[in-house]
Amino acid sequence: QIYNKVPADDASTYTDNVIHTACDLAHHTKAKAIIGLSQTGYSAYRISAHRPKSDVFLVTSDKLTLTQL
């Protein structure tokens, strides 16, 4: 499973805050896309939880994560 590599509490709080801000900014600016990097897929999982109207593009260098996104 891709989401079993959840970051430590401090890192996940920071990551969740950045993701929330990105989704909020995309909403207010009517952005067409949110683009990001994700090594474990956690960012993709959290962004999708916000259900943004923008398209979401995430890049990873991990082949396993890529097949599960």
Specify the pTM. 0.71
Residues ≥6 apart with Cβ < 8 Å to 20: 50
Q: Give the pLDDT of residue 63.
A: 86
In the chain, the largest separation of any two C-alpha atoms, in whole Å, equals 34
Give residue 48's Cα distance to chain centre. Answer: 7
Mean pLDDT over all residues of the chain? 83
The CA distance from 4 to 52, in Å, is 24
Question: What is the percentage of the chain residues whose pLDDT exceeds 70?
Answer: 83
